[in-house]
Structure 1
């Protein structure tokens, strides 16, 4: 028997002789893609091609399990253009494996459990045997990214990291990476537990082979986080080096933080430059920057003493129909036992109530003066802040100030004068007082017209309407020199004018002597005014 050690040199020598012989074929090689990537549910084809011109060879596909054991899946005998293919076992796969062409292994509807090493072995007679392995990787985009925030109240006074939220990414492959964000910016959170920030992760492989990932974020919260928006995002890989991500909905936190500052102000529709109008309802508003809202106490300073007005949680106190004697200093204090010693928990403000008393006139509200005379009337008012005064007539301004002075009074001076008191700093606060001025004297007479117009001539017996007007106080009475149907009425917008009309039938005598209109009152009468219908034919 030949010793075992003597055989190795002979085999090596045989290999060298074969390699040096020009008629011997080189060692066989096969071409297989070492890594094949596919999306879950797609069909994938594993190609195995001998490198060289072989008219006859045998091709086998094996599935290598995780222990390294190979399981024959399919084989093909190739002779020229003829191929005899056979699938040996699908090992429970549905749909089963397929062998197409000259030994292409086809997997329909790729699943995560198809992620294995597939070994192609080719034997070609004297050329020998060659094999190559294709690693199949199946990708699955996660279905959703959900977040479950902590719905409790987190205290900023806690000096350790607290649970913020848990993020769930379901049914992906490979397992995604979960990242956390604050106001759109990524958080650099370690996996190691510490007092400031960390996160924990757990991956579960589902029965389908897909992977679900859970990540829980822990942070030490601060007051600045009260308005922050957090979210998580699952970052996943895709074939050919592509990437994607799925974001959760954003969420906020409910924080407990002590009050540091208090704001106190007056909220009233009539507030102008710190004034409120007497009679209005005035709301005092107090707000703190702590959460939960502290209890607020409203008070009024009277001398050195505080008079408590109200204590409540909503931070509002209303003075109904505020009066001038309620002007003064008011305060608000927040009661927060968690606040720091240096916190500003109390504020005061000055409430100034603007008012106007009724206007007083230096004369009666109805004043009678003589035609041609002069008159001076003043108005006065008490108010705070100091009001301004002005006089108007028929909405037209006359004079600024308390004094109305009229000289050389005419009947046109008669009418209603208004003294207005107003406060420029409180536009909605004003008062008015009216003065009615009556001017007495001999009436002023004015003949007006003859109706209808005749183009210069009438016929005897024509009926005409004669009109004349007068003004004065007391109101004048009219007398006509002819008899007829007469009436008297005020002239609309006529500044004290009254109008008398006479309807009669014309005669030649009237045309010659005219018709006279006379107006009189207790002060006398002016010369009669003639109306002369001419040219009676």
Structure 2
């Protein structure tokens, strides 16, 4: 509340008005200035005055009480757009507050004999500044300079009141003074625009350090808001381009390389060199040969690529950083040893095929490898490890020994550098025979007319030929996963003639032959008593002459046919014969 006594000296006004001493508003918003009499005079006149910067008052509007109504008049717009207004309660209204409206507004109450009084309202208009902008120094700043250098200029435009600018490094406030010094300071300049808004420009000066090479800088504008509130607008971050001498140099073999430092022959590799100076200096790559430097390349990238490196390129390589600002004690040249791993094709003591006789002893194959680092040798067959080392020993040799053998050379310190060499072992020998007969349908044995499927399998080298004593045999085919076995089958019906003659399958190759006889007992009962039929008892291998003896012995019923014994061992074709055992049976054939 403001009070003013305009009466003669010694007298006191009898009226008072209530006016808010401070009114705050955001730019562009409407604002209303209130002036309310605290008493109820019979008649009064309210007048609004604007006080300019020189202190001169200009009457803007007046309000006169007429009965229970108030009659208001705006006298002077002062060029304002939109113009001043009065509401129904006699309050002064400023549509769309502007910065130029920041003045003292005086309300004068004239109540005739009751006296005159006045009070002043101060209007403050706030404006949020535009986006904070920063312009960094795009040049190269040297850390070797002994004075502070210009870092950046920060601007905050068209705010009210004038904003305040602060500077930050890595998010931390930079406490720099306004006074010029060699370590760091800042300057600022405020400009009032034609609109009445204010713009602030601040320039930061610092003596840069090497640690600033990765630092992030930015500035922020702080502005005021009504009711004592504050706002902040941060600029975008920026980095400095610094010049500082090299202090350390690194030189290494880039990918691909192993943990042991080996590189594979044939790979393209990179030699990488890096100094910690800025801007990037020139890099000189060289190779030491007879203690002399042979320059390979000079570039700014610090990268030397060796395409398809070979073993002759093993040796000492060097990199030198050409930084003339570096301190004398800094080691600008680095060297390394390039080790090229290689593995020549493997050599076997035999060719792609090795042919040996069945049951041979002391069969050995050597595998030799030349490489660096020294390779490890391993033998496998069908992916099954057989042993480590250069020599493969096979003793004795069987048909199961036949197959493909692989020698593999590898290096544990150089992944993916390996070689293999293989050979095929052929085992020469007379055939080995294996017979298989389908089981009878009836429990007791075969009955005339039954269909039976006979199978013979053989192996050897050269591959044996399988033949049958009866027509209808299928051509021999390799047995799936059969270790060199071939198989042939014959399907026929059981007859009394087969009971007498049997069915023979024979396997033969240049090294010999072997046969097998299948016998079937039938209802004709050609041998033995009438109440007996013959069934398979045992399988024997003997000479052709011996097998005749077996047949005669079985027919005459002498001895026990289940015995397994050799009657003759004279040389000649081998026969595998089924000897039949008499079984008492009267009415059915077993």
What TM-score results when the alignment is normalised by the length of structure 2?
0.81
**Matching residue of 2:479:** 491
- 1:239 aligned to 201, 211, 226, which one? 226
- 1:432 matched to 2:420? The reply is yes
Structure 1 residues 28 and 488: alpha-carbon distance in aligned structure 2, compared to 1, 3 A threshold: same
- Give the Cα–Cα distance (whole angstroms) in 2 for the partners of residues 266 and 354 of structure 1: 14
The CA distance in 1 between the partners of 2:299 and 2:98, in whole Å, is 64
Matched, 1:52 2:39: yes
Change (3 A) 1:169 1:482: same
- 111-120 vs 47-56, greater mean Cα deviation: 47-56
Residues 4-15 of structure 1: pairs in structure 2 closer than 5 A: 15=10
| 1:336-355 matched pairs, under 5 angstroms | 336-355=323-342
Kept in 2: contact 1:116–1:135 (CA 8 A): yes
Contact 1:279/1:323, CA 8 A, preserved across alignment: yes
The equivalent position to 1:446 in structure 2, one of 434, 441, 465, is: 434
Equivalent pair of 1:481/1:515 in contact (CA under 8 Å): yes
**Count of residue correspondences:** 514
Cα gap change, 1:123 to 1:484, in 2 (>3 Å) = closer
CA RMSD of aligned residues (A): 2.6
- Distance change in 2, residues 1:112/1:415 (3 Å): same
Which of the numbers 184, 195, 207 marks the counterpart of 1:208? Answer: 195
| Per-residue deviation, 1:342 | 2.4
Which secondary structure state, in structure 1, belongs to the residue aligned with residue 415 of structure 2?
strand
Deviation at 1:450, TM superposition (A): 5.9
Alpha-carbon distance in structure 2 between the residues aligned to 1:120 and 1:325? 102
Q: Unaligned stretches of 5+ in structure 2?
A: 1-7, 524-588
Moved more, 500-509 or 239-248: 500-509
The answer for the alignment partner of 1:122 in structure 2 is 109
Q: Per the alignment, do residues 469 and 485 of structure 1 end up closer, same or farther by CA in structure 2, a change over 3 Å counting?
A: closer
How many angstroms does 1:143 deviate by? 2.4
Partner of 2:220: helix, strand, or coil? strand
Residues of 1 paired with 2:346 and 2:44: CA distance? 123
Bigger mean CA offset, 390-399 vs 225-234: 225-234
Unaligned runs of 5+ in 1: 1-10, 19-24
Residue 505 of structure 1 and its aligned partner are, at CA, apart by 7.2
Matching residue of 1:8: none
Distance 1:28 1:503, change over 3 A: same
| TM-aligned CA distance change 1:535 to 1:268, over 3 Å | farther
Q: Is residue 284 of structure 2 the alignment partner of residue 300 of structure 1? A: no
Tell me the distance in 1 between the aligned counterparts of 2:472 and 2:24.
Answer: 121
CA drift at 1:280: 1.6
CA contact (8 A) 1:485 1:504 kept: no
Q: Distance in 2 between matches of 1:518 and 1:278?
A: 57
Q: Secondary structure at the match of 1:482?
A: coil
| Offset of residue 231 of structure 1 | 1.6
Deviation at 1:415, TM superposition (A): 0.9
TM-score scaled by structure 1?
Answer: 0.89
1:91-490 maps to which residues of 2 (within 5 A)?
91-374=78-361, 375-449=363-437, 466-484=454-472, 486-490=474-478
CA distance in 2, matches of 1:459, 1:270: 78
Distance 1:471 1:494 in 2: 9
User: Partner of 1:28 in structure 2?
Assistant: 15
Secondary structure of 1:441's partner? strand
**Counterpart Cα distance in 1 of 2:160 and 2:72:** 33
